[in-house]
Amino acid sequence: MINLITLAQTSEGAVGKFTLVLIAIGIVLALFLLVFLASRYRRCPSNRVLVIWGRGGGKQSARCYHGGGQFVWPIIEDYAYMTLEPLVIDIPLEGALSLNNIRVNVPSTFTVGISTDTVLMSNAAERLLGLPPQAVREQAQDIILGQLRLVIATLSIEEINKDREKFMGLVNENVTQEINKIGLELINVNIRDITDESGYIKAIGQRAAADAINKAKVEVAQADRDGATGEAIANREKTVSVAKEQAQATEGEKAAEQKQRVAVATLEAQAIQGEVQSKRDQDIAIAERQAETMAASKRAEQSQRVQVAEAEARATEGENTSRAQIAESNAKLAEIRAEAKRRADVASAEAFEAILKAEREQELARLAKEELAPQEIAKQRIEIAAEAEAEKRRREAKGEADAILLKYEAEAAGVRKVLEAKAEGYRKLMEAAADNPNVAPTLLMIEQLPELVREQVKAIQNLKIDKITVWDSGKGNSILEGKGGGSTANFLSGLIGALPPVHELAEQAGVELPGYLGRVAGTKPPKPDGEKA
């Protein structure tokens, strides 16, 4: 009896120890499981992107998260981080061919980094995950070099050197569009310098400096006369230039906005197409499951009816009836299976059609990029060259018109000053001759005497005196009518008498010539000034 009690107590103690051991093992396993699960929860810092892949698959090869935390399932999932730190890329571009076939050097610095946009993060996860920073920098450098050369090929030296805003806008647009394909975004662009091997840019600068110096000299010389006009012209040119730059900036912004809208619409269309395809697959699977469930229910109902019929009839007729019902059930099941197979075939055909459409769109996009894009660039080059030539001709015509206008204005100003000076001289002459009004007309007449004599001389200036022959009979009579003297003397006196006397002209004009000019015989000598008549 004592042995049995002792054995029972020993058994109870062993069971208790075993229970405690099991509890301890359970607690240890729970703690281990808790620690293991906690170690699989990954937090994403603000300067990184968490990439999780492995489970599920499908169209999205990986899931990308920025900030927060996510649980990573063991065995079936894995994770990695991508840094968001900017990459500074030096672009030593040399010998890029411009629109006017001049090679230029454009050393620059680009700052890029992985974007936090959902689509761009997925692109970066697919193409940059696991690559070292140097490999990423090399890929971005190759893309930037190609796009920078493409932009320079569409611009002339003058556009690159003067219109830096347009040049930077085209660089940002083209480079951003291409590096987004690998998940990067453009943060900053710094063009350090623009030079060329032929010295064309330096010559442009020297010409601009010379033009500026010459223009400054002209403006200083003309400042007193047309300062207000120069200021108005400068304001007008400034307004036109500002309006032109604003129009170009607005055009660039609208083009970027248009491309962004097209890209967003394309992504949304692809997302909607994927959702529709997934919903169609889900509906087909649900229909198949419902058909199988309904068929199983019908089979169970039919079996029950057959058994009841067999139990009640217990005859061959009941067995035949049950067999006929089973055959009918099999036929219905075959019909359901055929309908499900038909739906599956239709869904497969529609999926294949969608794949063909996607491949067609991809091929069209490739053709547009490889064939239409160069033609569009060539078209833009021709349009830009034509606009530049037209602008050059307009400016040359405007410069010629301005030069002609300035010439005529200067001539008119000179004539005006001469007339004003002459009028001032006449006014002072009239003021000086205020006491004797006859003096002023006399002086004016004397001023015109050289012109009068010149007109008189014109009457005989073409006569050749050395060719004149006078026939004289020696009796004092010449062939010309005279009153004595030799024929030669009579000829000369008659010739001089034929000229309009100066004194008679002055007398007819009411002007009395001064005494030192002589007088006509038979006239009274002029009275001295101040003597009364």
Residue type, 413: A
Question: Of 428, 459, 494, at which residue does a domain stop?
Answer: 428
- What is the predicted pLDDT for the residue at 478? 44
User: Which residues constitute the domain of residue 488?
Assistant: 439-517
- What is the predicted pLDDT for the residue at 144? 92
User: Closest by alpha carbon to 288, among 334, 328, 344, 332?
Assistant: 344
What letters, b where the CB count within 10 A reaches 16 and e where it falls short, cover 268-285?
Answer: eeeeeeeeeeeeeeeebe
- In this prediction, residue 124 has a pLDDT band, given cuts at 50, 70 and 90, of confident
Does the structure show a pLDDT above 50 at 498?
no
Position 214 in a domain: no
CATH number reported for the structural domain that contains residue 184 in this entry? 3.30.479.30
Position 235 in a domain: no
Check whether residue 74 and residue 91 sit in a common domain: no
Q: Which residue has the higher pLDDT, 30 or 501?
A: 30
- In this prediction, residue 441 has a pLDDT band, given cuts at 50, 70 and 90, of confident
Q: Please check whether residue 128 is in contact with residue 56, taking contact to mean a CB–CB distance below 8 angstroms.
A: no
- In this prediction, residue 62 has a pLDDT band, given cuts at 50, 70 and 90, of confident
- What is the predicted pLDDT for the residue at 462? 67
Q: Which residues is 97 bridged to in the sheet?
A: 103
Position 216 in a domain: no
Check whether residue 417 and residue 302 sit in a common domain: yes
Q: Give the contacts of 377 (CB within 8 A, at least 6 positions apart).
A: 150, 153, 154
Query: How would you class 102 by CB atoms within 10 Å of its CB: exposed for 0-12, middle for 13-18, buried for 19 or more?
Result: middle
Which tokens in the block code for residue 496? 């001089």
How high is the mean pLDDT of the chain? 77
Check whether residue 273 and residue 164 sit in a common domain: no
Q: Which residues is 188 bridged to in the sheet?
A: 111
- Count: domains in the chain: 5
Q: Average the pLDDT over each of 409-418, 502-511, 518-527 and give the range with the smallest value.
A: 518-527
Check whether residue 48 and residue 62 sit in a common domain: yes
Question: Of 205, 222, 237, at which residue does a domain stop?
Answer: 205
Q: Is the pTM of this model over 0.85?
A: no
Check whether residue 197 and residue 272 sit in a common domain: no
Check whether residue 92 and residue 184 sit in a common domain: yes
- What is the predicted pLDDT for the residue at 485? 53
Which tokens in the block code for residue 60? 């999205």
Position 75 in a domain: yes
Check whether residue 398 and residue 503 sit in a common domain: no
- In this prediction, residue 532 has a pLDDT band, given cuts at 50, 70 and 90, of very low
CA distance 240 to 218: 23
The whole-number average pLDDT for the span 487-513 is 57
CA distance 495 to 196: 84
Q: Give the contacts of 41 (CB within 8 A, at least 6 positions apart).
A: 69, 70, 71, 72
Position 381 in a domain: yes
Check whether residue 283 and residue 370 sit in a common domain: yes
Position 224 in a domain: no
Question: Of 360, 395, 428, at which residue does a domain stop?
Answer: 428
Position 508 in a domain: yes
Query: How would you class 30 by CB atoms within 10 Å of its CB: exposed for 0-12, middle for 13-18, buried for 19 or more?
Result: exposed
- What is the predicted pLDDT for the residue at 30? 85
Position 236 in a domain: no
Does the structure show a pLDDT above 90 at 112?
yes
Q: Give the contacts of 169 (CB within 8 A, at least 6 positions apart).
A: 248, 249, 252
Check whether residue 105 and residue 194 sit in a common domain: yes
- In this prediction, residue 77 has a pLDDT band, given cuts at 50, 70 and 90, of confident
- What is the predicted pLDDT for the residue at 11? 62
Q: Is the dihedral of CA 212, 218, 224, 227 positive or negative?
A: negative
How does pLDDT run across 166-208, given as a tens digit for each residue?
888 899 999 999 999 888 999 999 888 888 877 777 777 777 7
Check whether residue 412 and residue 470 sit in a common domain: no
Going from the C-alpha of 268 to that of each of 132, 257, 371, the distances in angstroms are 32, 16, 27
CA distance 65 to 157: 45
Check whether residue 9 and residue 74 sit in a common domain: no
- What is the predicted pLDDT for the residue at 89? 92
Check whether residue 136 and residue 278 sit in a common domain: no
Q: Which residue has the higher pLDDT, 110 or 459?
A: 110
Does the structure show a pLDDT above 50 at 499?
no
